[in-house]
C-alpha cells in the first residue's frame, strides 16, 4: 500500500512553509453563487507568490532535503508551475545546482518567469511525461536529487496545507472541487478533509482531454503515463501518481468529473469578467464544472480551488 502523509505531516508542513508563502483568501462569489444556486467560495491560489499552489509542495520537499541530497543538487520535471516552485525554493534555501526539465509545449509565460530563479532549464519532449522521463534519466546519470511534482508524501504534505486553510475559513463546507493532474494537491486536501471534516465531499475535476484518474479507477490500475489530447489545461495533462490512485481507491476522493475545453474557456472568461480574476485553464476546471451543472451543489456551500494564474497570453480563442 502507498503511504500517504498524515494530518500531522501536513500540520508540520504548514509550520515549515508559512514564512515563505501567501496565505491565500477564500472569497465568496455572490455572482457565481446566484448562477449555480449555491454558496460558492473561491480559494485564490492563482494569487500565490509564484502564481500556483505548487509552491507549497516544492518548499516543504526541499526544506526536508538531507545534507547529502542538498550537496548533490536537485532536478525535477514540470509543465511549468512546479518548476516555479522549485526555483523559488532553490533561491530561498540556497540550493544549487537546480535543473528543471520542461516539455517544449510549456507556456511561454511560465518559462519567462523561470528566469527570475537560479535554475537551469532544459526543454525535453512534447509532454510532461516525456520531460519527466528525461529528468529521471538525468538524476540517474548525475546523482542529483529528484524532486517529484506530486508523487512524494513530502510534496503532498505541502499541498495539503490548502485543505487546512480551507477548513479554517469554512469548516462547514459541503464540497471542495479540486483540479487533478498528477494528483498531489487533491491527495493532500483529501487526507485533511476526510480526517477533520469527513462529511465534506472531495471532488476531482479533470479535462476530457486527459482523464487519467477516471480511467485508472475504471481499469483498476494506475496510469502513471497517459496520452493526453491537446488541452488548454496544460498542468493537468498526462498520467497520475500512485498516491492519488491509492487515495481514491481508499474512498478519500468522492467523485471524478470531466469538463470540455470550451467549458474551461467559458469559465476563464467568467472569472475574468465577473470576479476580475486571471486564472489559467488548469485552475478554472472547478468553476467550469459548476457553471455546467455537472456537480449538484444546489443549496450547498462549495469551494472551487483556483489552483493557478499563470495563463498563456498567446491563447487567442478565449
Domains in the chain, CATH or no CATH each:
7-52+159-306 (3.40.50.1100), 54-146 (3.40.50.1100)
pTM of the model: 0.95
pLDDT of residue 315: 61
| Sheet of strand 120-123, all strands in order from the earlier edge strand to the far edge | 120-123, 98-102, 74-77, 145-146
pLDDT of residue 202: 98
Which grid cell is 237? 495533462
Sequence-distant (6+) residues with CB within 8 A of 128 are 77, 78, 79, 103, 181, 237, 238
Tell whether the model's pLDDT for residue 139 goes beyond 80. yes
Q: Which of 43, 54, 110, 113 is catalytic?
A: 54
266 touches 260 (CB < 8 A): no
Residue 221 annotated to the active site: no
* Distance, CA of 134 to CA of 124 (rounded, Å): 7
Mean pLDDT of 246-269: 98
Task: Classify each residue of 101-112 as buried b or exposed e, where b means 16 or more C-beta atoms within 10 Å of its C-beta.
Answer: bbbebbbebbbe
* Distance, CA of 3 to CA of 310 (rounded, Å): 31
| 53 DSSP β-pair partners | none
What is the DSSP pairing of strand 255-259 with strand 201-207?
A: parallel
* Distance, CA of 273 to CA of 260 (rounded, Å): 20
184 touches 5 (CB < 8 A): no
Which grid cell is 144? 542529483
Q: How does the average pLDDT of the chain come out, rounded?
A: 95
48-78 pLDDT, tens digit per residue, is 999 999 999 999 999 999 999 999 999 999 8
Q: Specify the residue for cell string 525535477.
A: 76
216-254 pLDDT, tens digit per residue, is 999 999 999 999 999 999 999 999 999 999 999 999 999
Residue 195 annotated to the active site: no
Mean pLDDT of 101-129: 87
Amino acid at each position: 500500500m502507498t503511504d500517504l502523509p498524515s494530518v500531522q505531516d501536513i500540520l508540520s508542513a504548514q509550520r515549515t512553509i508559512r514564512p515563505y508563502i501567501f496565505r491565500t483568501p477564500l472569497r465568496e462569489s455572490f455572482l457565481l453563487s446566484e448562477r449555480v444556486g449555491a454558496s460558492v467560495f473561491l480559494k485564490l491560489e492563482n494569487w500565490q507568490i509564484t502564481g500556483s499552489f505548487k509552491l507549497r509542495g516544492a518548499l516543504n520537499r526541499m526544506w526536508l532535503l538531507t545534507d547529502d541530497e542538498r550537496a548533490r543538487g536537485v532536478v525535477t520535471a514540470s509543465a511549468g508551475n512546479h518548476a516555479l516552485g522549485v526555483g523559488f525554493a532553490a533561491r530561498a534555501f540556497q540550493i544549487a545546482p537546480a535543473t528543471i526539465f520542461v516539455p517544449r509545449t510549456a507556456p511561454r509565460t511560465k518559462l519567462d518567469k523561470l528566469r527570475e530563479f537560479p535554475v537551469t532549464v532544459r526543454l525535453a519532449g512534447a509532454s510532461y511525461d516525456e520531460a519527466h522521463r528525461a529528468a529521471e534519466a538525468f538524476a540517474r546519470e548525475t546523482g542529483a536529487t529528484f524532486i517529484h511534482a506530486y508523487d512524494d508524501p513530502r510534496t503532498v504534505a505541502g499541498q495539503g496545507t490548502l485543505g487546512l486553510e480551507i477548513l479554517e475559513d469554512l469548516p462547514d463546507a459541503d464540497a471542495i472541487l479540486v483540479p487533478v493532474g498528477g494528483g498531489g494537491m487533491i491527495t493532500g486536501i483529501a487526507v485533511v478533509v476526510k480526517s477533520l471534516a469527513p462529511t465534506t465531499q472531495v471532488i476531482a475535476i479533470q479535462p476530457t482531454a486527459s482523464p487519467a484518474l477516471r480511467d485508472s479507477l475504471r481499469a483498476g490500475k494506475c496510469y502513471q503515463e497517459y496520452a493526453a489530447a491537446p488541452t488548454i489545461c496544460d498542468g493537468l495533462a498526462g498520467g497520475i501518481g500512485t498516491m492519488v490512485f491509492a487515495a481514491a481507491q481508499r474512498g478519500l476522493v468522492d467523485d471524478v468529473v470531466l469538463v470540455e475545453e470550451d467549458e474551461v474557456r467559458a469559465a476563464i472568461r467568467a472569472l475574468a469578467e465577473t470576479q476580475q480574476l486571471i486564472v489559467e485553464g488548469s485552475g478554472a476546471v472547478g468553476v467550469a464544472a459548476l457553471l455546467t451543472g455537472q456537480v449538484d451543489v444546489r443549496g450547498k456551500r462549495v469551494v472551487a480551488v483556483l489552483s493557478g494564474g499563470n495563463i498563456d497570453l498567446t491563447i487567442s480563442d478565449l
